[in-house]
Amino acid sequence: MAPNPIPDGPPVRVDGPVSISVRDRLLVEWVVQAKVGDALPAPYCYASSPLESVIRTLTILGVIKRPERDRTWTSLAVEASAVAQAWLERHPADGVTDAAPG
Has residue 100 been placed in a domain? no
Has residue 59 been placed in a domain? yes
- pLDDT in the model for residue 32: 92
For residue 101, give the amino acid letter: P
What is the span of the domain harbouring residue 24? Answer: 20-93
- Helices 73-90 and 22-33, axial angle in degrees (round to 10): 120
Domain count, the chain: 1
- pLDDT in the model for residue 4: 46
Beta bridge partners of 81: none
**Tens of each residue's pLDDT in the chain, 102 residues:** 445 444 555 655 555 555 678 888 999 999 999 888 889 898 989 999 888 889 889 988 888 888 888 888 888 888 888 899 999 888 877 755 555 444
